[in-house]
Amino acid sequence: MISHHQLQRFANMQAFLCTFLLIFAVTANLACSRQAKKTDTNVDGDDSGSKLPRAPTVTACGLCGNPISVTLKLNNQFKTPYFEYEVKVNNHPQRELIYMMQQAADKNPAFKFSADYFASLGFSISTINGLSASVDDKTYWALLDHPSGAAKKLGVSSYIPLNNEVIMFNFTTWATHT
Ligand SMILES: *[C@@H]1O[C@H](CO)[C@@H](O)[C@H](O)[C@H]1NC(C)=O
Which residue ranges make up each domain of the chain?
1-61, 67-173
In terms of Cα–Cα distance, which of 25, 12, 1 is closest to 154? 12
Better pLDDT: 12 or 66: 66
- The residue whose CB lies within 8 Å of the most ligand 1 atoms, and thus the one to mutate among 76, 77, 167, is 77
- CATH number for the domain whose boundaries are 67-173: 2.170.130.30
Model pLDDT for residues 131-156, shown as the tens digit of each residue? 999 999 999 999 999 999 999 999 99
Predicted confidence at residue 165, as pLDDT, reads 98
Cβ 130 under 6 angstroms from ligand 1: no
pTM of the predicted protein model: 0.68
- DSSP secondary structure, 72-119, as one string: EEEEE-SSSSPEEEEEEEEEEES--HHHHHHHHHHH-TT--EEEEEET
pLDDT category, 64, cuts 50, 70, 90? confident
Residue 164, CA atoms < 13 Å, CB-side half-sphere: 0
Give CA separation, 175 vs 10, 134, 151, 152, 178, in Å. Answer: 20, 12, 16, 19, 6
Q: Tell me, what amino acid is at 93?
A: P
Q: Kindly report, residue by residue over 12-35, the tens digit of the pLDDT.
A: 666 555 455 555 554 454 444 444
Q: Which amino acid is at 168?
A: M
Q: Provide the pLDDT for residue 83.
A: 97
Quickly count helices (H) and strands (E) in the chain: 2, 7
- Work out the pLDDT band at 80, boundaries 50, 70, 90: very high
Nearest protein CA to atom 1 of ligand 1, as residue: 170
| Amino acid at site 38 | K
